[in-house]
Amino acid sequence: MAASSNRTRPLKILQLKQESSEVEILTENLDIISKNLVDSGANLVSVVSVMGTYRTGKSFLLDLLTRYLKRKAAKEAAEESRVQVDPLFDKAGNATSAPNGRASKADGWRFGEDDRQKAAAPEWVLEGNSSRIHEGSKLDEQSDGFAWRPGKDKCTQGIWLWSTPFVFRDKDDRRVAVLLMDTQGAWDDTMTKAQSATIFGLTALLSSKLVYNIQNRIEEDKLENMDYITTFAQTVCADLPGKEAPFGHLELFIRDWVNFEDGYSFEQCKAQMAEHLDDHISPQKVPQDAVPRVERLKSTFKSIDAWGLPHPGLKVTKPTYTGEIDLIDRDFLYLLDKFGESFFGGSFPQPSAPLGCEITPGSFKRVVLNFAQAFRDNAQDMAIGLREAFVKVETITFRDDLAKRFREQLNRLAPDTAVMDPVDLAHDVDELINSLVDEFRMKLKPWRMADDDENAAVLDFIKTITEVANSRMAANNQQVEGATLKLVASPVVGTGAYFLLAHQIILMAVMGTSAYIQANKHAKRDRVEIYDPTVFAGVFEDAKKFGLQRYKDVQAMQIALSRITPKDAMESLMSASKQAGVMAAAAGAAGSQAAAGSAEGAVRPGGQQARAVAFK
């Protein structure tokens, strides 16, 4: 069942089908999120996701990151409204001070110092409930966050998205809607390989930033699991245009890292993690058989980084833990604070662009459905499915963009208020259609589609824009044809106009009567008095439409006058007479049928009465 669109909480968009290797998209929840994206007024969509094996604290981490983004979003909203801003964040939304209030670049923090346990938690951690991370706790009935529970039992199933986006501006001042995504633990024993690949692949493809949650240290099997799905994308992109990596940023997020030494500064902690990452993704340091995998990963993601956090504290792992902030290790919170500053700073936010195609609020649902369908239908040959999904999304998106541009250019070429020579308009429209069709064909060329598929896509595009063009040209032609008939009848019209202009009293009477009739029409329609303001507004609107129509008549008559010949005039007059004759004949026939019916009804009772009298 779909959740209310007004309630901000995680919504499941994908679930596993029981006793099956398939997955199911929950379209009602996806519709809610899509609507919220559109309502946010954002231009683009950025998905930030956390994935990894089960029971590694992904959901708990996401609830903490949710608090960070709430504080950051509030700061940006205040900045735009010129309200007093949060002193913890600078104009770009980055943290400016550490939890203890000292400058973050040189705050004197050292790992493992006893007095760190007495330091206050970062203020964004205290956002909302200042004593507990209660949002997703399974032990809290009122929880509204990403579901988590302490202990050994699994919690998250399927894929979940935060229902309402956090909106930020990127470096180009575009509004980007950021969605947080939580995933079921990949590669657990309740999922088939196809289901794991679907969750893994869909999450990776949609993410502008992907946090790969890893326990203790980077290990070869974790990178092999990641390589399993990204190899398909590497194959897809081999014959696609552009050199952009198909996936966004990959953050190897190492939990319970035990190698930070007491007294380490923040910079030393960072250097140690950089060294650990380099040991596993440098072609010069990994075993020879792992070099192809490393090169694939580095070419598939735009960037790869690593971050480490120490253990949050033994009490946090107890089954009775309900999110008490005071029980969380302060070194853990300090380094998490620095992670948020780095991860959500700099070039953040960047739009999600699976295989180079930026996601917009309007295309979000279609992108999710198409890629999910690719994984579902092509579990055994995923590379082909991904490529088909990408080409389909890109083709539809470009077709819609070109169709929109065609309408805009057609409106500039022939606005509704203008009347053009039909021959000139047809010529200009044909040139515009041919230009955009050529552009559409050029866009399809690099996709190397099958001939039938490419021709079908082109024909569909031509049909779409031709319908719009024909509608506009038909309206223009009708206006010109009407003007031709008016020119033929101009002596009669001119005589009437001359008579009214020469007799102003009659003219005023005609105008007054017309105004009264229109006002009376609006009063009856709206069920108000004739002097009601809505009546005057309606009459004014009618007058404006009348004036616009007369303006168009003048343009049309000028065109008709330049094109008309005696033969055209006679044909227009004969056509109008013929049409009038047909209408008159139809009206006469209808009247005759009605009269005959009335007569038959009148005779039949009399005849029955006469026969009755004779029988007597």
Q: Examine the pLDDT at 156 and tell me if it is beyond 60.
A: no
Amino acid at residue number 94: N
Mean pLDDT (the chain, rounded): 74
In which element (H, E) is residue 441 found?
A: helix 422-444
| Residue pair 111/262 in contact by the 8 Å Cβ criterion | yes
Question: Token pair for residue 524?
Answer: 């009856």
Q: What residue spans in the chain does CATH classification 3.40.50.300 cover? A: 10-349
Q: What residue spans in the chain does CATH classification 1.20.58 cover? A: 396-482
Q: Examine the pLDDT at 252 and tell me if it is beyond 70.
A: yes
**205: number of Cβ within 10 Å:** 30
Tell me, what's the pLDDT at 35? 94
Q: Does domain 10-349 correspond to CATH entry 3.40.980.10?
A: no
CA angle 174, 176, 177 (to 5 degrees): 155
CA–CA separation, 322 vs 311, rounded Å? 17
| Residue pair 395/241 in contact by the 8 Å Cβ criterion | no
Q: Could you give the 3-state DSSP secondary structure of residue 325?
A: helix
Burial state string for 93-111 with b = 16 or more CB within 10 A and e = fewer than 16: bbbebbbbeeebeeeebeb
Q: What is the pLDDT of residues 405-442, one digit of tens each?
A: 899 998 888 887 777 788 888 888 899 999 999 999 88
Question: Token pair for residue 605?
Answer: 């009772």
Q: Examine the pLDDT at 312 and tell me if it is beyond 60.
A: yes
Contacts of 500 (CB under 8 A, 6+ apart): 506, 507, 510
Tell me, what's the pLDDT at 210? 93
Q: Examine the pLDDT at 529 and tell me if it is beyond 70.
A: yes
Q: Could you give the 3-state DSSP secondary structure of residue 215?
A: strand
Higher pLDDT: 254 or 220? It is: 254
User: Where residue 25 falls among pLDDT bands split at 50, 70, 90?
Assistant: confident
| Residue pair 233/205 in contact by the 8 Å Cβ criterion | yes
| Residue pair 206/368 in contact by the 8 Å Cβ criterion | yes
Higher pLDDT: 42 or 397? It is: 42
Amino acid at residue number 244: E
Q: Determine the average pLDDT of the residues in 373-392.
A: 60
Read off φ and ψ for residue 398, nearest 5 degrees. -70, -40
Least confident of 350-354, 380-384, 510-514, 525-529: 380-384
| Residue pair 425/435 in contact by the 8 Å Cβ criterion | no
Q: What is the pLDDT of residues 183-205, one digit of tens each?
A: 876 555 666 666 776 777 788 88
Query: 399, 385, 384, 383: which is closest to 444 by C-alpha?
Result: 399
Q: Could you give the 3-state DSSP secondary structure of residue 353?
A: coil
Residue with token string 């990204």: 230
Higher pLDDT: 349 or 135? It is: 349
Q: What is the DSSP letter of 362?
A: T
In which element (H, E) is residue 13 found?
A: strand 10-16
Q: Are strands 166-169 and 247-255 parallel, antiparallel or unpaired?
A: unpaired
Torsion of CA 26, 30, 31, 32, to 10 degrees: 110
- Looking at domain 396-482, its CATH architecture is Up-down Bundle (1.20)
CA–CA separation, 274 vs 214, rounded Å? 15
CA–CA separation, 150 vs 131, rounded Å? 17
Tell me, what's the pLDDT at 570? 57
Q: Examine the pLDDT at 449 and tell me if it is beyond 70.
A: yes
Question: Token pair for residue 445?
Answer: 């060329």
CA–CA separation, 87 vs 75, rounded Å? 9
Contacts of 26 (CB under 8 A, 6+ apart): 2, 11, 12, 13, 14, 15
Question: Token pair for residue 18?
Answer: 């029981």
Q: What is the pLDDT of residues 92-113, one digit of tens each?
A: 555 554 433 333 445 788 998 8
CA–CA separation, 549 vs 537, rounded Å? 18
| Residue pair 418/555 in contact by the 8 Å Cβ criterion | yes
Q: Could you give the 3-state DSSP secondary structure of residue 305?
A: strand
Read off φ and ψ for residue 441, nearest 5 degrees. -65, -40
Tell me, what's the pLDDT at 591? 55
Q: Examine the pLDDT at 508 and tell me if it is beyond 90.
A: no
Angle of helix 533-563 relative to helix 451-488, nearest 10 degrees, comes to: 90
